[in-house]
Chains A and B, each alone.
Chain A
């Protein structure tokens, strides 16, 4: 188990004079998965075996490199539902001195320029009987003008989330070396 932060016990786990016990880790973000793409670019990375209602919150770091010479909008879908109209998204994008808000129907979490990168961190939440939500902050455009894209979406089903898929709008845009790390709130 690896932790990010939050309330820890046993002197914040820095005390190694005695072994840590399971109880020391009960108030922490616990790593569920760390995946690095290799063997060639892919269009999507799908995570199965999740249980969002039980875990309630996932913290996800998404670090992507664009393998193509085309831009790619990055989305994160739930339970393999690729129907864009089942998601309600609100975004705010800033570039230099310009800011713009948009309301769309999709599961977008950001954007990659051609041959560029995407860096985002997301929280995904769900309680039983309630729709799943995602909120995120991401950045792109590796030039003097850093673009910041943050927003949220909600899915229209209250079904438990067991699968999350990070997917680009351009086929094979997720390059080797891209990394996705998922933590749950233990």
Chain B
């Protein structure tokens, strides 16, 4: 949760209101153009778990 500025628009009345609210930020998903599926991510996780690599970035 972060306390941040939000804009609220009532589509019935057209009224707009700025507020400070506690907001849960959505996940930050950087576009992953190096993989074509989640399988590669799973593989990196497994390799790391088995101690074959220490950081996932080793197999980027």
Answer whether residue A135 sits at the interface, using C-beta atoms and an 8 A cutoff. no
Quick check: A42 and B7 within 8 Å, CB to CB? yes
Contact status of A169 and B23, CB under 8 A, knowing A46-B9, A103-B38: no
Q: Which of A91-113 contact B (CB under 8 A)?
A: 93, 95, 98-104, 106-108, 111
Contact residues in B for A43 (Cβ distance below 8 Å): 2, 4-6, 23, 25
A75 to B26 CA separation, bound complex (whole angstroms): 7
Contact residues in B for A107 (Cβ distance below 8 Å): 26
Interface size on B, residues (CB 8 A): 30
Quick check: B31 and A169 within 8 Å, CB to CB? no
Interface size on A, residues (CB 8 A): 45
Contact residues in A for B9 (Cβ distance below 8 Å): 33, 35, 45-48
Answer whether residue B36 sits at the interface, using C-beta atoms and an 8 A cutoff. yes
Contact residues in B for A147 (Cβ distance below 8 Å): 31
Contact residues in B for A108 (Cβ distance below 8 Å): 26-27, 29
Quick check: A73 and B16 within 8 Å, CB to CB? no
Contact residues in B for A75 (Cβ distance below 8 Å): 26-27
Quick check: B23 and A71 within 8 Å, CB to CB? no
Answer whether residue A167 sits at the interface, using C-beta atoms and an 8 A cutoff. yes
A54 to B11 CA separation, bound complex (whole angstroms): 15
Q: Which of B12-55 contact A (CB under 8 A)?
A: 12-14, 16, 18, 23-38
Answer whether residue A49 sits at the interface, using C-beta atoms and an 8 A cutoff. yes
A45 to B5 CA separation, bound complex (whole angstroms): 9
Contact residues in A for B4 (Cβ distance below 8 Å): 42-44, 171-172
A71 to B27 CA separation, bound complex (whole angstroms): 12
Q: Which of A59-109 contact B (CB under 8 A)?
A: 71-73, 75, 77, 82, 84, 93, 95, 98-104, 106-108
Quick check: A106 and B27 within 8 Å, CB to CB? yes
Quick check: A45 and B28 within 8 Å, CB to CB? no
Answer whether residue A50 sits at the interface, using C-beta atoms and an 8 A cutoff. yes
Give B17 Cβ to nearest chain A Cβ, in Å: 10
Which B residues contact A (CB, under 8 angstroms)?
Answer: 2, 4-14, 16, 18, 23-38
State the 7 A-B residue pairs at the shortest beta-carbon distance, nearest first: A49-B12, A82-B24, A75-B26, A169-B28, A43-B4, A49-B11, A93-B31
